[in-house]
A and B are shown apart, each in its own frame.
Chain A
Amino acid sequence: MVATEKINMPQLGESVTEGTISSWLVGAGDHVQKYDPIAEVMTDKVNAEVPSLFSGVIHELVAQEGDTVQVGDLICYIESEAENGSDKLSEASVGYADDQRSAKEMTDETTSMKKRYSPAVLKLAQDNHIDLDQVEGTGRGGRITRKDMERLVAAGTKSPSAESAKSTVAPDTNKQDASPMLQETSSQQTTSAGDVEIPVSNVRKAIAQNMVRSTQEIPHAWMAVEVDVTDLVTYRNQMKDAFKKEEGFNLTFFTFFIKAIAQALKEFPQLNSTWAGDKIIQHKDVNISIAVAKGQELYVPVIKHADEKNIKGIAKSIHDLAAKARSDSLTADDMQGGTFTVNNSGSFGSVQSMGVINYPQAAILQVESIVKRPVIVNDMFAARDMVNLCLSLDHRVLDGLIVGQFLARVKEILENINKDTTSVY
C-alpha cells in the first residue's frame, strides 16, 4: 500500500523553534529506509540529521538547502510503503479546548438570550433610560451586548420606548399596562444625610403612573377665559344659609360651575370624548370627575349624569363624594366612568394653572379662585367678581376653535346665572 506522507521539521532541542537545511542527503526518487538520515539541519544550538519517519521513495523536496524552516513545518513528501499507514503520527490531528468551559456552554443556541442582561447592559439602560424590550440584540441567542447599548447611546437614540409608546397609543382605553418606561422612571436618585425617605403608597404610585402616562401620551394644549361671576356670587350668597338650613349641606360656588359645564358639554360633545387611536369616541353620558384631596392622597370620584341633575342634585353629589373620600369609603364604582374632569383649583387660592388631563379623557377644566377686581364695564371702572377658567385639551382630539366655542359657552352660561334665570331646585 502506497501513501504520500509528509515529513516535517523535527524538534531539535528544547529551545529550538526553527532549523536551517544545510544539505539534503537524498533527492526525489531516492529510496530510503525508515530512520535513514535524509537531511542535515543546523540550528544555533545543534547540528543534526533528520531521520525519515517512513520507508519509501522520496516524492518531492519542499524545503531547499539554505531555507530556514519552523519546527513542525513541511520539508518533504515521501511515498511510503507503510504498514497500513500506521505511522501517521505526524499527521495526527489534535483536538483541544473541549475541556475549556466556554461562554458558549452557558448559552444554549436554541434558548433565547434576549432577556438575559449583563450588569453592563442593565447599567447603561438605567443611566440612559433605554427600554431594553425595544433593543435588538446582536449577541448569541439575540442577547443585547454592551456594544449594542453603546451604539444606541452614541447614536443619541435616548429612549426608543418613549417614541414607540407615542406612536402606538393603546386603542383600548382600559388597558392597564402603561409603556414599560413609566413604572421605573427613576430608582437612581441618591439621598444625602438628613434626607427622609418616604415609601410610596399604592395610591401615590397610581397617581404617579396616571400622570406620567397622561403627559407622555397626550399632547397637551392650554386655553383660559376670564368670567365675570358677580351675579352668580350675589345669587349664591343670598341662597347659601337658607340652603344649608334646608338641605343640611353647603351650596358651593363649585356646584354652579359643574352645572354650567355639564350643560355646555351636552352642547359640545367633542370635549366629552376619548382618543382611541383610529377613532374618537364621543360619550353619550356626561359624567364629571372631580378632584378630592385627602391628606397625601388625591381621589377623582365621578358625578354621574351631571347634565341630568339640577343644582341641588349636583351639590348633593359633591357633598356625598367628598364625605366618602374623607371616610375612605369610596367604591370602585364611584371612581369609574368619568368623561370630563373639573378641578376646583381655586379652593387652594390658585388663579391660574395647567391641569394634567385625567387619562383617557380629552380635557380637564380648572376653576380658579373668584377674585374681586376692578373691571371696565361700559367705559367705567366697576368692582366685579372675576374667575379664570383654565382648560387643558388633548390636541389629538380637539383644536382651538371648538374649545374656544366651548369656553365661550360656559362663560355665557355662568355670566347669566342669577335669581331670575336659574333655580337651585
Chain B
Amino acid sequence: MPVQSYIQAITAALREEMLRDEDVFILGEDVGIKGGVFGTTKGLYDEFGEYRVLDTPLAESAIAGVGIGAAMYGKRPVGEMQFADFIFPAVNQIISEAAKIRYRSNNDWNAPVTIRAPYGGGVHGALYHSQSIEAVFANQPGLKIVMPSTPYDAKGLLKAAIRDNDPVLYLEHKRAYRLLKADVPEGDYVLPIGEADVKREGSDVTIITYGLAVHYTLQAAEKLEEEAISTHVLDLRTVYPMDQKSIIEAAQKTGKVLLVTEDNKEGSITGEMAAIIAENCLFELDAPVQRLAGPDTPAMPFSAPMEDYFMMNPDKIETAIRDLAEF
C-alpha cells in the first residue's frame, strides 16, 4: 500500500470519483488553474477540463448555491470553501436550503452536494485562517458533518460524502494536510458516514475526539502506555449526526471520559457528547466527564506563544488523561 499524506488522499478521492461518475464536478475559488491554495485540486483541471473544475468568483454563497442547484438537478457537485472561516456567507444556502430541501419538498427533491472546507489552527494562520466551525452547523437535521482524522479515513469518507444523496459538510484539518502520512489503499473503498471508529483499545480512560485531535490523542496515549495508563480512543469521524451507540459504549468501557476538541469549549461538539453520556451512562461513570478544548476567546491568536497556548497538543491531552487516570 502506498503511503499518502492526508491531502494526497483527498485529491485521490476527488479524482477517482470524477473518473467513476461524470456528474461529479468541483467548484471553488482558485480550484482550477491554480489547483487550490493548498494544492488539493492540483492536476484535476488539466485532467478533467474547465467544465468539471470551475474557478468561481470570490462569493461563497454562490459556490454553495450553485452547488445546491446543480445537485437538485442530478449532479454531484463538490464545492470548496478556501478556508472554513469563509463559509459564513454561505450559511443561509447550506442550512436553509441544502439541509432542508428533502424535508420541505416531501422527498420530491434532494441535494447531494458536498462542501469541503479546510478548518483548524496551529498553522500560524491567525484569526481568519484557523477557526473550527463545526459547532455552527451541528444542530441542523438534514445536514451531515464529516471530519476525518487519518489519510485512510479522509479518502473513504470523501467518497462516501460525494455518493451520499444529501448534503455533506466535509471538514479537513489544514495542519493535517502534510503532517499526517499513512498507508492508503489504491483504488476504490468507501467508509460509512455516521459511524465512529475505535482508534485504540484501552481500559483506564476513554478519550472521544475527532479531526486532528485524534492524532494528538494517539501520540499522548502512546506516551502514557509507558506509565501503564491504558487509553481507549474513539474517533467520531462524523460529528453530526453523532454515533450515539459508539459514544455510549466507549464511555461505559472505562467510566472515565475525556472529550477533546480544538474548538472553543463552550457550545462545542463536546457538550453534546457529554449530554449523551450523562443520559445513558450514569451507573458506569467513575469520574466527572472532562472536557479539554480551546479557551473561549474569539479566535486563534497570531502570536506564536499565544497560538501554542490556544492550540490543542499532545502534552495537554497527556496531562488531562493522566489526571483522570489518577482520579
Contact = CB atoms under 8 A, between A and B. Distances in A.
Interface of A: 11, 14-18, 43-45, 89, 92, 94-97, 99-100, 102-104, 106-107, 118-121, 123, 139-140, 143, 145-147
A14 B123 contact: yes
Interface of B: 7, 38-39, 118, 123-125, 129, 174-175, 177-179, 203-204, 254-256, 282-288, 290, 292, 295, 304-305, 308-309, 313, 315-316, 319-320, 323-324, 326-327
Contacts of B177: 15
Chain A binding site: helix, strand, loop or mixed by DSSP? loop
Contacts of B327: 103-104, 107, 139-140, 143, 145
A14 B309 contact: no
Contacts of B283: 119-120, 123
A44 B124 CA distance: 17
Contact of A11 (B124, B292, B315, B319): B124
Contacts of A143: 327
A71 to B, nearest CB: 9
Contact of A120 (B39, B178, B284): B284
A16 B255 CA distance: 38
Contact of A100 (B125, B174, B320): B320
Contacts, number: 94
A97 B316 contact: yes
Contacts of B256: 146
Closest 9 CB pairs of A and B: A146-B286, A17-B179, A15-B177, A14-B123, A11-B124, A120-B286, A118-B286, A123-B283, A94-B308
User: Which among B7, B285, B313 has the greatest number of chain A C-beta atoms within 10 A?
Assistant: B285
Given A14-B124, A17-B175, A146-B255, A121 B320 contact: no
Contacts of B179: 17-18
A102 B256 CA distance: 13
B175 A97 contact: no
Nearest to B327: A103
A103 B305 contact: no
A287 B18 CA distance: 100
6 contacts: A11-B124, A44-B39, A96-B313, A106-B288, A121-B286, A147-B286
Contacts of A102: 290, 320, 323
Given A14-B174, A15-B38, A45-B38, 4 more contacts: A18-B179, A119-B285, A120-B286, A145-B286
Contacts of A44: 39, 178
B123 A15 contact: yes
Contacts of A106: 288
A100 B324 CA distance: 13
Point out which of B123, B283, B327 has the most chain A C-beta atoms below 10 A from its C-beta: B327
A102 B288 CA distance: 9
Nearest to B38: A15
B324 A96 contact: no
A41 to B, nearest CB: 14
Given A14-B125, A15-B38, A99 B295 contact: yes
